[in-house]
Amino acid sequence: MKIVFLKWKRKKYLILGAVIILIFFYVINFTSLKHSQTDFSYLRLPNDNLPELTQTNLEELPDSGLDKIPRIIHQTWKTADIPDLYIDWIKSWHTLNPDWEYWFWTDENTRAFIAQKYPWFLDVFDNYPEPIRRADSMRYFILYEFGGVYVDLDMENLKSLSPLIKKYYCFLGQEPYVHPMIDSNFEHLPINAIMGCRKGHPFMKLLMDQLPKFSNMWHVLDSTGPHFMRLWFKDYKKYNYNAEHENGTFLTPPEWFFPFVDPVKIKDFHAKCSKYDSLLHHQKRACQFIKEYNGVPSNLKHAFTNHHWIHTYFISRYSLQPPRNIHSIVPSVKIWKP
More confident position, 43 or 66: 66
Helix count and strand count (H, E) for the chain: 14, 11
Element (H, E) at 284: helix 281-293
Tell me how far apart the terminal alpha carbons of the chain are, to the nearest angstrom: 87
- Residue 20 and residue 179: Cα distance in Å, rounded? 42
Q: Could you tell me the pLDDT band of residue 35, with boundaries at 50, 70 and 90? A: very low
Quote the pLDDT of residue 60.
85
Q: Could you tell me the pLDDT band of residue 117, with boundaries at 50, 70 and 90? A: very high
Q: How would you classify the pairing of strands 334-335 and 72-76?
A: unpaired
Residue spans of the domains in the chain: they are 1-28, 72-335
The answer to whether the beta carbons of residues 138 and 204 sit under 8 Å apart is: no
Does the pLDDT at position 312 exceed 90? no
Q: What is the dihedral of CA 258, 261, 264, 269, to 10 degrees?
A: 140
The answer to whether the beta carbons of residues 323 and 84 sit under 8 Å apart is: yes
**So what's the architecture of 72-335 in CATH?**
Alpha-Beta Complex (3.90)
The answer to whether the beta carbons of residues 161 and 67 sit under 8 Å apart is: no
**Residue-wise pLDDT tens digits, 52-101:** 777 656 778 998 999 999 999 999 999 999 999 999 999 999 999 999 99
The answer to whether the beta carbons of residues 80 and 52 sit under 8 Å apart is: no
- Residue 190 and residue 199: Cα distance in Å, rounded? 20
* 219 alpha-carbon distance from chain centroid: 17
User: If you average pLDDT over residues 260-272, what whole number do you get?
Assistant: 92
**Residue-wise pLDDT tens digits, 277-304:** 999 999 999 998 888 877 666 668 889 9
**Residue-wise pLDDT tens digits, 153-169:** 999 999 999 999 999 99
Indicate whether this model's pTM tops 0.85: yes
